[in-house]
Amino acid sequence: MRLSQLFTKTSKTAPADEVSKNAQLLIQAGFVYKEMAGAYAYLPLGLKVVENIKQIVREEMNALGSNELIMTGLQRKDVWEKTGRWDDETVDVWFKSKLKDDTEVGFGWSHEEPIVEMLKQYIQSYKDLPVSVYQFQTKLRNELRAKSGIMRGREFVMKDMYSFHDSAESLEAYYNQSIEAYKRVFDRLGIGEETYVTFASGGAFTKFSHEFQTICDAGEDVIYLHRGKNIAVNEEVIDDAVKELGISRDELEKVKTAETGNIFNFGTQKTDEMGLHFTGQDGTEQSLYIGSYGIGITRVMGVIVEKFADERGIVWPEAVAPAKVYLARLGTETEVVRAADELYNELTKQGIGVLYDDREEARPGEKFADADLMGIPYRVVVSAKTVAANSYEIKRRSSNTKGDPELVNQTQLLKIMSSPI
């Protein structure tokens, strides 16, 4: 992508009405636009990040044998009434409206009930099971108060997966597989080491559910952590968990975290309430077991910004960055332009994402500052100097890599660029 064609601009000043680091930087760098409190539009660069995160999640969900689909934003009242969750007293985040003929409809804050209802049409026999489906959906929740930028909004993108089984054992096996899949997701997103499978309140069927909690000061949760034993417990169930797991509270470290994912065993309650059954091998009607598995896509994006940003701006892990390299062209001399264009074409041809700063009016300092603010992993400079030396200058963005920019030839550059993430 050429910056000269990108309509967004960076700003030297952070927006005054945002306090959270993620919203400030994402707005400053032109990744998101705030439409209203708790609702952000994703601009080209921000959208690229969202899509990169989604793609990683998609690959891992597909590897679990799950089927991607997309449910509707508008939802039926009667479907939710079956489980008593249409009631505003029970679910206090509903956005509701009416059709022209006065039929009440809800805006999807979750999709469990509609998916169960939908699957009644397709699941009748044990031969149809197990089934796993997932989607990336914009969830709409009428939160009393939006906060923390894109980490806690009224409109956000979530991956939600649901699995359906003919036995508790089948569900449990899949549940455990999904834990491993989630770990791979967070590893690939670059926050695996800081994300803990955490015991949390379970609900009707199991004593505990599992949350994926990422250490983050801007998060809303508090967990108790034993890094050595890799045990994490949400504050809300700490007393129960200490008893259950036979650990002492004193050996646990208290840390602030953001809930980036959660998985939940529903047992058969919801399918029974909604009348989703199957015929077993013995010809009798039996109850289905459901698991539900969420990952907050846009929240993950916010957490990544919060965790890695430094005083110069965002620092994206390579796997989610909107581009792998920021190509800064300094100068407008014919040979400089030619060299930069050629490199841009070559990198693009090789499938390497490039943000090409071909702006004629921007001075070097401005380009460097933008490269830093946008958090692109590599910065490559093409200038009269580098052309004369028949080389390119390359520098990593990440704050933990020290050292000045180095000059490399095209072969070396391409080798670095195509190296595994």
Partner RNA sequence: CGGGGUGUAGCGCAGCCUGGUAGCGCGCCGCGUUCGGGACGCGGAGGUCGUGGGUUCAAAUCCCGCCACCCCGACCA
**Contact footprint for RNA (CB under 7 A):** 9-20, 36-38, 91-92, 110, 143-148, 152, 201, 203, 220, 262, 264, 292, 294, 312, 330-331, 361-366, 368-373, 379, 381, 383-386, 393, 395, 405
The least distance separating RNA from the CB of residue 70, rounded to whole angstroms, comes to 17
The least distance separating RNA from the CB of residue 282, rounded to whole angstroms, comes to 33
CB-wise, 226 or 396, nearer to RNA? 396
Cα 110 from Cα 16, distance rounded (Å): 32
Cα 145 from Cα 152, distance rounded (Å): 9
The least distance separating RNA from the CB of residue 54, rounded to whole angstroms, comes to 19
The least distance separating RNA from the CB of residue 387, rounded to whole angstroms, comes to 8
The least distance separating RNA from the CB of residue 305, rounded to whole angstroms, comes to 15
What is the chain's percent helix, strand, coil content, to nearest 5?
35, 30, 35
377 CB contacts (<8 Å, ≥6 apart)? 316, 317, 318, 321, 324, 325, 396, 397, 398
CB-wise, 9 or 127, nearer to RNA? 9
CB-wise, 250 or 361, nearer to RNA? 361
- Which helix (H) or strand (E) segment holds residue 416: the answer is helix 410-418
Tokens coding 59: 């690959």
Tell me phi and psi for residue 251, to 5 degrees: -85, 5
Cα 375 from Cα 371, distance rounded (Å): 6
Helices 410-418 & 334-349 angle (0-180, nearest 10): 40
CB-wise, 86 or 278, nearer to RNA? 86
DSSP 152: B
The least distance separating RNA from the CB of residue 369, rounded to whole angstroms, comes to 4
CB-wise, 155 or 166, nearer to RNA? 155
CB-wise, 231 or 373, nearer to RNA? 373
The least distance separating RNA from the CB of residue 386, rounded to whole angstroms, comes to 5
Choose among 226, 229, 248: nearest CA to 239: 248
The least distance separating RNA from the CB of residue 370, rounded to whole angstroms, comes to 5
CB-wise, 188 or 379, nearer to RNA? 379
User: Are residues 413 and 403 in contact, defined by beta-carbon separation less than 8 angstroms?
Assistant: no
**Does residue 190 come out as left (phi exceeding 0), alpha (psi in the -120 to 50 range) or beta?**
left
CB-wise, 365 or 420, nearer to RNA? 365
290 CB contacts (<8 Å, ≥6 apart)? 112, 116, 162, 163, 164, 165, 171, 266, 267, 268, 270, 271
